[in-house]
Structure 1
Amino acid sequence: MQRTQLNNVRDALNGSKATQLDYCVLNQDLSLAHWSNQRDRVSYHKVGHHTVSLYLTGGNDTHRLDMPSAGKGSPGKLCLMPATQDSEWVVGEGQEFVHFYVSDAALKFFALESFDIDPRLVRLPDLTFADHPELARLCHSVMNVPWHAVSERLHLQQAFYGVMGCLIQAFVRHQPVTEALRGGLSRRQLTSVMEYIHAHAGEEIHLEKLATVSGLSLFHFARMFKQSTGLTPHQYVSKIRVRKGMEMLQKGYGQAYVAAACGFSHQSHFAAQFKREYGVTPARLIRELC
C-alpha cells in the first residue's frame, strides 16, 4: 500500500491512489471534493483545516489504524476531522466520498455571526463513522447539483453553511464551558464593536474609533480583537462589507452603487474582495440573477 502524509487533506489524497472526481472552490475558506479510492493507506497530519466526510458508496472495509475501536465505514457514515488532528486510514475495496473543507477562521466567524458563540469556544470533536441523519442529508444535497454552474454557486454555499450550522448546533453550541477564557475582549466590548461595524459598514472605519468603542488602547484592541474573533479588525470589516454587498446585489442594486454604499473606495476593490469571499465576480453574479 502507498503511504501518504501531507499537511492538507486534498494534497494527501492527490498523492495517494485516490481519484479526485470533482473539486469546487467556493471561496478562500470553503471547498468541496468528490473522491473515489480503494486498497490504499492515507495519513493526515495537522492539516490546518476542518474536514467533514460523507461516505457515498462502499467503505465497508475502511478503518482507522490509530483508532481501531471506531469500526468500519459504510454508505451514509460521517467522519469529522478537526484541524490539527492526526489520523491514519486503511482504505478497503472501492468507495466514493464527498469532503467539505472549511478553514478554522471561517468556522469561528460563522459561529460568532450566526450563533453569537465566542470563537474561542469553537472546538470540533474527532468523529469516525458517525451517524447523524440531518448532517448526512445536508452533505448529500450537494451531489444533486452541478458544482461548476454559476447559477448553482449560491445553492452550494447555502448547503455548505447548512453543514457548518449543523456542526455548530450539534457539537459546539451545547458544550459546557470547562475553562475560563483568557485574553480577548469581554462580551460587552465585542458586542459594542460588532454593532458599531455593522452600523457604519458603508463608511470609513478607523482602528482608533474601534479601540475607543471598546475602551482599550489601540495596541491592546487590535491584539485582543483577533484573540476573540480569529480575524484582524480589517478582515472582519471586509467580511461584513462583502456580505452587505451580496444582499444589495440580490436586491437589484448596481455594482458601482453597491461598492460605494459598502465602504469600498473602488469598484475593482469590491469586486476582488467579493470574488475572494464568494468565488465569483459581482458582474457574473448579476448576469446569473437577471
Structure 2
Amino acid sequence: MSNKAMDTTSLSPKKSTPTNFDESASKICFRQRSLTDSLSWAHYQNQHDHLYYINEQQHTLSLYLAGGYDTHRTDAPSAYGGPGKFCLMPKDAQSEWQLGQSQQFMHLYFSDDYLKQLALKMFDMDPRQLQLPELNYTSDAATEALFRHCIASSDWQSNDNHLAMEQMTNTILVTMLKNMGISKQAITVKGGLSPKIVALVCDFIQANYHRQIYLSELADLAQLSEYHFCRMFKASLAQTPQAYLLGVRIEQVKLRVRENTANLTDIALQCGFSSQSHMGRYFKKLVGVSPKQYRDLIMK
C-alpha cells in the first residue's frame, strides 16, 4: 500500500500551511509492509517540520522508536513526544504537528471494519459500540515491547514471518482495546439483527459455504427485504453478508491446507470457489499470501 493511499490531505501546500505528512521533504520511509488489505506497517524518520496529518481510509497507531522530545501537536493542548510514546489517530481525525530533532517512529494502519470484527470475535462486542478516541503520547510497556521486539526486529522483506507478524499485530490491537477499556464500553445501540437472527444466518452460511448462497435465502431467514437485511447485517457484524461468506470459505481453505495435502484445485471447489485462481485471488487479499505460500509457511 502506498503512502498516497494512507495519508491524504485537502489543504493546499501554501507557505503558511503545515506540510502534508505525505509531502514532507524531510520524511524518510525506511520500510513498509502490507500484511492484508486491512493491516499494514510503515517505519519512518522525520525532523524539523510542521505537518498536517489525516488518514481518510484507516486508523493509525504510532510509536516513537527514538527521539521526538521536541515534537508536539499545535492544534490542541499537547505534551511532548519521546521514545516509547504512542499516538492513536482515528480514521478522518485531523491533527497538526511541530517536529523537532530527528526522530524515528512506526505506524500501524488498520481498517475500521477489521478492528470491529476483531472486537466482536475477542470480546463478543457489538461493533457499533466501538468508537476510537484520539490519544497523544500515552505509554504502555507491554505494547511497546511487541512493537520493538516482535515487529521492528522482524525482516519485513521476507514472507517467512508473515503469519507471525499478523498474529503479533492482532495481539497489539487486542491489547490496545483492553488498555483503553474499549472492550467494556456499554454504548446503547439500536437497530441491527437480533442475536437469534445473527446466529441463525451465520449457522446457515457455515453449513452451506460450499455452494452458491443467494442473498434472498438469507433475507428470508431474517424475514426482511434484501436491502434491509444487508444494512442490518453490516451494522451487527461490521461486514457485508458476501464478505462474511468469503471469510468462512477462506477459513475452510486454511483448515484443509493445514490438515491434508489435497490438490489446491480440489480444495477450491470444496470450499465454494469456481477455480483455484478464484480462490487464490481472494485468499491473497484476506490472508496476505497465496494458498501455496500459506501451506509452505505452516509446514516449516
Same fold (TM over 0.5): yes
Q: Provide the residue aligned with 1:28 in structure 2.
A: 37
Give the letter aligned to residue 43 of structure 1: Y
Deviations 1:154-178 (A, max 9, x none): 111111111121123233211232x
Q: Separation in 2 of the partners of 1:158 and 1:88?
A: 32
The equivalences for 1:212-227 within 5 A come to: 212-227=220-235
Q: Percent identity?
A: 34
Q: Provide the residue aligned with 2:193 in structure 1.
A: 185
- How far 1:58 sits from its partner (Å)? 0.6
Q: Provide the residue aligned with 1:47 in structure 2.
A: 56
Structure 2 residue 119 is the aligned partner of structure 1 residue 111:
yes
The equivalences for 1:1-290 within 5 A come to: 8-9=6-7, 12-16=20-24, 17-45=26-54, 47-68=56-77, 70-140=78-148, 141-171=150-180, 172-177=182-187, 180-254=188-262, 255-290=264-299
Q: Separation in 1 of the partners of 2:81 and 2:278?
A: 46
CA contact 2:129–2:186 (8 Å) conserved in 1: no
| 3-state SS, counterpart of residue 36 of structure 1 | strand
Q: Separation in 1 of the partners of 2:227 and 2:273?
A: 25
**Structure 1 unmatched ranges of 5 or more:** 1-5
Q: Provide the residue aligned with 2:15 in structure 1.
A: none
CA separation of 1:110 and 1:199: change in aligned 2, threshold 3 A: farther
Deviations 1:22-44 (A, max 9, x none): 00111111100001111112112
- How far 1:187 sits from its partner (Å)? 2.5
Q: How does the TM-score come out when normalised to structure 2?
A: 0.87
CA separation of 1:251 and 1:169: change in aligned 2, threshold 3 A: farther
Q: Separation in 2 of the partners of 1:257 and 1:116?
A: 34
- How far 1:46 sits from its partner (Å)? 5.2
- How far 1:275 sits from its partner (Å)? 0.6
**Structure 2 unmatched ranges of 5 or more:** 10-19
CA separation of 1:92 and 1:247: change in aligned 2, threshold 3 A: farther
- How far 1:19 sits from its partner (Å)? 0.6
- How far 1:15 sits from its partner (Å)? 1.4
| 3-state SS, counterpart of residue 250 of structure 2 | helix
CA contact 1:7–1:45 (8 Å) conserved in 2: no
Give the letter aligned to residue 8 of structure 1: M
| 3-state SS, counterpart of residue 173 of structure 1 | helix
RMSD, aligned α-carbons: 2.0
CA contact 1:14–1:20 (8 Å) conserved in 2: no
Q: Separation in 1 of the partners of 2:269 and 2:61?
A: 38
- How far 1:260 sits from its partner (Å)? 2.3
Give the letter aligned to residue 240 of structure 1: V
CA contact 2:37–2:286 (8 Å) conserved in 1: yes
- How far 1:137 sits from its partner (Å)? 2.1
Q: Separation in 1 of the partners of 2:157 and 2:221?
A: 43
Q: Separation in 2 of the partners of 1:120 and 1:138?
A: 28
Deviations 1:73-127 (A, max 9, x none): 1111111111121111111111111110001111112222332211111111111
- How far 1:51 sits from its partner (Å)? 0.5
Q: Separation in 2 of the partners of 1:29 and 1:63?
A: 28
Q: Separation in 2 of the partners of 1:193 and 1:161?
A: 26
Q: Provide the residue aligned with 1:3 in structure 2.
A: none
CA separation of 1:62 and 1:48: change in aligned 2, threshold 3 A: same
